[in-house]
């Protein structure tokens, strides 16, 4: 008997400043999923939060231009429900249009996609999904909470200082310099892809950069600027995670900004694998797994580091839904480690189903 294809929904777009990056990543995931193994359903979320069933033949416009890329080819607005114990998409306008799903692959970056919100929805719907759960997603997204957990676990990270919106006029430039030194970075606590980030070198840049970061979040993290090589490492797994060979990002801009990552073809150079000693590789991999487990991650994550001149390695941050664009480090580091793109996607789906099998073993009612 021929085995039924796995019915996978690829979820992309979203109400985030990283909407366009999600579209770029989703395109690669959709093209990389084997049509022999998967029945793929394209689920786009527009910038207003509407869920849309998309036509694979025309779901994107300007797909090669990160500045203009946008969703297209929307067939219908849909909702995710559990029907007769089976998760499925239903049409909001057409009768008797159900699309059963076995697993969801969220390719959502940033707010409302990588912060535990969509993961909570999918968990309530009882559908397996790729990547970290609610807790791992939330703490991995919040740079303040993430850094406090890493610090308490004795995992080396940069000096940092957190400011809440209510206190933004109470903290002086002099106090920040005393805490973290100069220059320093100002970052929205809950955002990725370098959106809203500024490097502050003088007091005249301080207020503008702080106000700019607060446009994106109610909490801002200020970090010391570390001089060092930017090293990244991919992690894969649930209970027994493994780490890839590390890679190195060599920015051509002053730092690895949003423009350098996605809008400038010459924004950075990449060394995959990174030119590191065996000892350095082992240390990066050990720290990557330690950070992954400390932050309660599952499925996948990319861990970013600074390797300083004195040999000290510090964890910068973790990304629980790393990029899957054609130049993204996460899949490229696995490819350099012997795991090709198609097999990596297979493994992520397997881990999602494995995680769900553990969940269904738990009791939810008293006997």
Cα distance between residue 117 and residue 243, in whole Å: 27
- With cut-offs at 50, 70 and 90, classify the pLDDT of residue 7: very high
Question: Per residue in 158-211, pLDDT tens?
Answer: 999 999 999 999 999 999 999 999 999 999 998 765 788 999 999 999 999 999
Residue 16 has pLDDT above 80, yes or no: yes
What length is written for the chain?
A: 367
Reported confidence tier of residue 366, pLDDT bands at 50, 70, 90: low
Q: For residues 142 and 62, which has the higher predicted lDDT (pLDDT)? A: 142
Task: pLDDT band for 265, please (50, 70, 90 cuts).
Answer: low
Can you list the positions of beta strands (E) in the chain? 6-13, 38-45, 51-54, 60-61, 70-71, 74-83, 86-91, 98-100, 103-107, 160-164, 184-188, 198-200, 219-224, 229-237, 242-243, 247-251, 268-271, 299-307, 313-319
* Apex 256 CA angle, 250 and 262, nearest 5: 105
pLDDT per residue as tens digits for the range 332-357: 999 999 999 999 999 999 999 999 87
The residue that leads in pLDDT, 75 or 137, is 137
Per the structure block, which two tokens stand in for 206? 């301080």
Closest CA to 314 of 156, 171, 195, 165: 156
Residues paired with residue 270 on neighbouring β-strands, in sequence order: 249
Upper half-sphere CA count for residue 307 (Cβ side, 13 Å): 23
Question: Which domains can be identified in the chain, with CATH numbers?
Answer: 6-129 (3.40.50.20), 149-154+227-359 (3.30.470.20), 159-224 (3.30.1490.20)
Confidence of residue 266 (pLDDT cuts 50, 70, 90): low
Nearest CA to 27 out of 3, 54, 67 is that of: 54
Q: Which of 81, 74, 78, 108 is nearest to 94 (CA)?
A: 78
Q: How confident is the model at residue 122 (pLDDT cuts 50, 70, 90)?
A: very high
Separation of CA 59 from chain center: 22
Lowest mean pLDDT among 32-36, 58-62, 122-126: 58-62
Region 95-101 average pLDDT: 82
Given a cut of 70, whether residue 48 has pLDDT beyond it is: yes
Beta bridge partners of 315: 157, 305
Mean pLDDT (whole number) for 250-268: 62
Q: What is the mean pLDDT of the chain?
A: 90
- Determine the Cα–Cα distance for residues 39 and 5; give it in Å rounded to an integer: 6
- The pLDDT of residue 75 is 77
Q: pLDDT class for 263, splitting at 50, 70, 90?
A: low
Least confident of 143-152, 166-175, 255-264, 325-334: 255-264
62-72 pLDDT, tens digit per residue, is 877 778 888 88
Cβ–Cβ < 8 Å for 166, 198: no
pLDDT beyond 60 at 145: yes
The pair of structure tokens assigned to 302 is: 């990319």
């Amino acid at each position: 008997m021929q085995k039924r294809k796995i019915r996978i929904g690829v979820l992309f777009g979203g109400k985030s400043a990283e909407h366009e990056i999600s579209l770029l990543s989703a395109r690669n995931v959709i093209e990389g999923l084997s049509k022999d193994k998967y029945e793929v359903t394209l689920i786009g979320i527009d910038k207003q939060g509407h869920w849309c069933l998309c036509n694979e033949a025309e779901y994107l416009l300007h797909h090669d231009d990160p500045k203009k890329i946008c969703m297209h080819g929307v067939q219908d607005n849909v909702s995710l429900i559990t029907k007769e114990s089976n998760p499925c998409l239903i049409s909001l306008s057409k009768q008797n249009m159900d699309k059963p799903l076995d697993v969801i692959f969220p390719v959502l970056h940033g707010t409302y996609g990588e912060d535990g919100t969509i993961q909570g929805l999918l968990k309530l719907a009882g559908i397996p999904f790729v990547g970290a759960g609610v807790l791992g997603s939330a703490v991995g997204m919040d740079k303040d909470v993430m850094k406090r957990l890493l610090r308490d676990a004795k995992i080396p990270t940069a000096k940092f200082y957190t400011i809440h919106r209510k206190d933004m006029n109470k903290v002086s430039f002099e106090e920040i310099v005393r805490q973290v030194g100069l220059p320093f970075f100002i970052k929205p606590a809950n955002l990725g892809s370098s959106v809203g980030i500024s490097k502050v070198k003088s007091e005249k840049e301080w207020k503008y950069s702080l106000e700019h970061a607060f446009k994106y979040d109610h909490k801002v993290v200020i970090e010391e600027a570390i001089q060092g090589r930017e090293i990244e490492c991919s992690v894969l797994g649930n209970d027994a995670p493994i780490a890839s060979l590390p890679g190195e990002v060599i920015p051509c801009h002053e730092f690895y900004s949003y423009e350098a990552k996605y809008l400038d073809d010459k924004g950075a150079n990449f060394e995959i694998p990174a030119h590191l000693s065996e000892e350095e590789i082992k240390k990066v991999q050990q720290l990557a797994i330690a950070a992954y487990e400390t932050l309660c991650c599952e499925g996948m994550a990319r861990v970013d580091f600074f390797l300083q001149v004195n040999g000290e390695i510090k964890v910068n941050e973790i990304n629980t839904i790393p990029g899957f664009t054609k130049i993204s480090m996460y899949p490229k580091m696995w490819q350099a480690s012997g795991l090709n793109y198609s097999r990596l996607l297979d493994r992520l789906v397997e881990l999602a189903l494995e995680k769900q099998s553990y969940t269904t073993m738990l009791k939810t009612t008293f006997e």
